[in-house]
Amino acid sequence: MISLTIDDKKIEAPHGATVLEAARLAKIDIPTLCHDPRMKPFGACRLCIVDIAGLPRPVTSCTTPATEGMVVTTSSPRLERLRKTTVELLLSDHPNDCMVCIQAGDCSLQDLAYRYGIRDNRFSGAVRQHKRVDNNPFILRDQDKCVLCGLCVRVCDEVQGVGAIGYANRGFESDICPPFKKQLDCEFCGQCVSVCPTGALSAKMWVGQPRLDGLQPTETTCTYCGCGCNITLHTHGDTVARVSSRSDNHNRGWLCVKGRFGYEFINSPERLTTPLIRRRKGGPLEPAGWDEALDLVASRLQSVKEQHGADAIGGLASARCTNEENYLFQKLLRAGVGTNNVDHCARY
């Protein structure tokens, strides 16, 4: 461990920690826009600047290693003025459409504008004008709202190992797009959408749905495979409007395309909501109550067992059930029916 002083407070931090990490361990707030603790420090937004005794100018705390005896100041009139100016510069080239933006209420740039009380912008001039990109099944790209934080580029490279998008052009014409500005043809895992701090990247499924602060969150487990990723279902009434995942779960907030976007099947009109049974041979499937359906299944299983033995019966569990439900299913087959013919369809 090393000892340093941050805002007149003695702090202990592990070797290799950055100034930002040391400050957050001590519950000292330093604003950021491009930082994500799950990825390497980048230092693009310049909002995490701090003063360090002995250095002539502020440095980015997310990229500066904490050292023994370091004296750090995270908040001062000068630092707050510089941060406010940075946010103002970002807003000077940002669409003024928070009233209709799907990301309003869950936008880091909006939060920073509120934090620094920015009502008007003293900077003016040319603004970027990009066409909204809508050429894939899942993701909308609005480059006018991009602040070039690099989070989407880094998560695609560092976490997914794909590198489907990257920086293009320089200066005022800087852009983030697929190589050679071709059509995006990745797996559409949506990691880039999940880390975007503004409305530059959003999911098509969110269009027409309430904003995030108008949805009810429910913690649950993804049922698509055996990984068991923790997810949060954001619902409006009986409708799932979007899916996210907290970064403090075992899957660290990362989801695949199925976990993030593959939830619309639950609203399918073909989904079974009640048991269906045949009351006569060759007859149609008809709705039934659970008691009637379970009694029929029990009698049929008993009949097969008496005629052909327990090994004539098998059970196939569902990958969309929880581990506890599948445990009870195999116990029913093994202990109740007396067969070991149990299988389970799951992928990794």
Q: What's the pLDDT tens digit per position in 67-106?
A: 999 999 999 999 999 999 999 999 998 998 889 999 998 9
Same domain? For 58 and 7 the reply is: yes
Residue 235: strand pairing partners: 216, 240
Same domain? For 231 and 285 the reply is: no
Please give the average per-residue pLDDT across 19-24, as a whole number. 96
CATH of the domain at 264: 2.20.25.90
Out of 59, 75, 91, a domain closes at 75
Residue 125, pLDDT above cutoff 90? no
Instruction: State the total domains in the chain.
Output: 3
Residue 40: strand pairing partners: none
Per-residue pLDDT at 348: 46
Per-residue pLDDT at 77: 97
Residue 47, pLDDT above cutoff 50? yes
Per-residue pLDDT at 202: 94
Q: What's the pLDDT tens digit per position in 279-318?
A: 888 899 999 999 999 999 999 999 999 999 999 999 998 8
Same domain? For 8 and 31 the reply is: yes
Residue at 225 is within a domain: yes
Residue at 31 is within a domain: yes
CATH of the domain at 40: 3.10.20.740
Please give the average per-residue pLDDT across 226-239, as a whole number. 90
Same domain? For 288 and 254 the reply is: no
Q: How big is the chain by its Cα radius of gyration, in Å?
A: 27
Residue 29, pLDDT above cutoff 50? yes
Same domain? For 284 and 241 the reply is: no
Residue 178, pLDDT above cutoff 80? yes
Residue at 108 is within a domain: no
Same domain? For 218 and 250 the reply is: yes
Q: What percent of the chain has pLDDT over 90?
A: 73
Q: Which domain holds residue 257?
A: 211-271
pTM: 0.83
Same domain? For 266 and 280 the reply is: no
Distant-in-sequence, close-in-space partners of 94: CB < 8 Å, separation ≥ 6: 109, 144, 145, 147, 198
Please give the average per-residue pLDDT across 197-214, as a whole number. 92
Cα(215)–Cα(246) distance, integer angstroms: 16
E strands in the chain: 2-6, 9-13, 49-52, 59-60, 71-73, 139-141, 166-168, 175-177, 201-203, 216-221, 230-236, 239-244, 276-278, 285-287, 315-317, 342-344
Same domain? For 266 and 287 the reply is: no
Confidence of residue 347 (pLDDT cuts 50, 70, 90): low
Q: What's the pLDDT tens digit per position in 53-65?
A: 999 999 999 999 9
Q: What percent of the chain has pLDDT over 70?
A: 99
Q: Tell me if residue 334 falls in helix, strand or coil.
A: helix
Closest CA to 20 of 1, 36, 2, 3: 36
* Least confident interval from 130-144, 194-208, 247-261, 302-316: 130-144
* Mean pLDDT over each residue of the chain, to the nearest integer: 92
Confidence of residue 129 (pLDDT cuts 50, 70, 90): confident
Residue 219, pLDDT above cutoff 80? yes
